[in-house]
Chains A and B, each alone.
Chain A
Amino acid sequence: MTHIAPLPLEAIADPEMLELITQAKALGVPDDLFPRLIARAPAQAKPIMRAMMMSFTQGHVDHRLKEIMRVLLARFAGDKYFAALRSRKAQDMGLTEQRINEGCYEYENDTKGFSEAEKCALQFADLMYLDASQIDKAFYNEMKKHWSEAQIMELGSFMVCHYGMQMFMRSMTGRA
């Protein structure tokens, strides 16, 4: 239950918002609760939904890696809503719950089989909102060994958008 009630779907008339809700429900992240809630502020709702969907499903970084990063951030944010959701696209690509947990808690363990590029990206997510002071020039130099500058910006922008809305949902629902 959220502190502010989501709008009923029937109360949303904007065709683009309805299409975004349909796309989100098909993906599984977010389900229709989040867009119906932010639809109370229609001027903000569509740009936020577009940015979330685009940053998560488009670009040049593996969607499964982004899904692990998204869950890691949601758990860190203490947001029980987004932490419970799973991308059907990532599941269809073979991402399992075990792999998500390994990515969140054991990515540095060499026996888990994450590539150096994946480890670096997961550390990027791990540190960003825990200790951003460690994301310094040396860290970005390490990132650049594995990722193009476009991919680094893609990952950063993806985290900004999703972590920001995870914190918003945490405020709407209370801690996990």
Chain B
Amino acid sequence: MNRNSVSHKRFGRGKTPPLPSAGEVGESEERRRTGREGENHNRKSPYVNGHGASKSTLICHKRRRLVLRQAAVQAALIGLSIFFLLPLIWMLVTAIKPLNETMTSPPVWIPSKLQWQNFSDAFAYNSKDLGYIPFLVYGRNTLFVTCLAVIGSVISNSLVAYSFARIRWKGREWLFGMTLATMMVPGPVLMVPMYALFKEFGWIGTFRPLWVPSFFGSAFNIFLLRQFLRTIPIDLSEAAKLDGASEWRTFIDVIIPLTRPALVVVAVFTFLWAWNDFMGPLLYLTDQQTFTLSMGLQFFQSQHTGTPWNLLMAASLIVVVPVIVVFFFAQRVFIQGIATTGMKG
């Protein structure tokens, strides 16, 4: 019971870093010294304290209430799981059924045959009104943009966050304050001027507006990484510098290896953002061959108001599955990362 609540603590507060890696033991030892280790221990279940008392009838009564409450909680959780999962299961079921079983009442839950061909049909959809909708090409485009965005984001944000967290320079606090303030700017305000700017660069119709800005950092990721970097003891940097390491060597050899879990969070956030982005491609991509998956799916859907639902669901699934796969691989680090964003640091 209690182990659960402890292991879900956000990282960087004296707990073992979430991603196990070589040399982990030494790292967590270092971090433990700074962390507020003690705070986890006083979080015992309230029920534990009641045991061992002499009034056995009271315990019996208490235990029955506890069992009842557990049952109610489990029932609610199962009900809610259905609410959350049913639409997604329905998507999966629709994606693998033949067309004539999509629009039926009552709905068909178990298709008469598994029509995997829907996926290949969606991948290379050929219709007489639309021509060829090359989802495979869209997938490649999306992957290209997403990979570059992730690389750029990890490099730039770690450099900038390191500067904000661990180097003193004039104007640092001021710029960091401005950086936090810009998180308030709603995206649509920048729609027109960004378009004008990229048009000036001659980038409209290319992928560049979608990935180049990632190489210049983003306020949110800088904030996230800075919070993490501040938890690494400053003695480590000072020891490295006494050994003659330059700022750059300290960054690369000492700090970066310790920052790996937080970098994974930034990478996953950027992946999700770039993969899911719809407004960017909508504004800057002009040629149908350069569309991303989100754009392609929207185009596909808008041209077919409601007919081939099985193909539409197959296409949607192609967009959704990579996201869920990435999430499952990085789940622990990722959930802790989200939790951190809501906390004061």
Chain A bound to chain B = no
Which residues of B are interface residues toward A (Cβ below 8 A)?
Answer: none
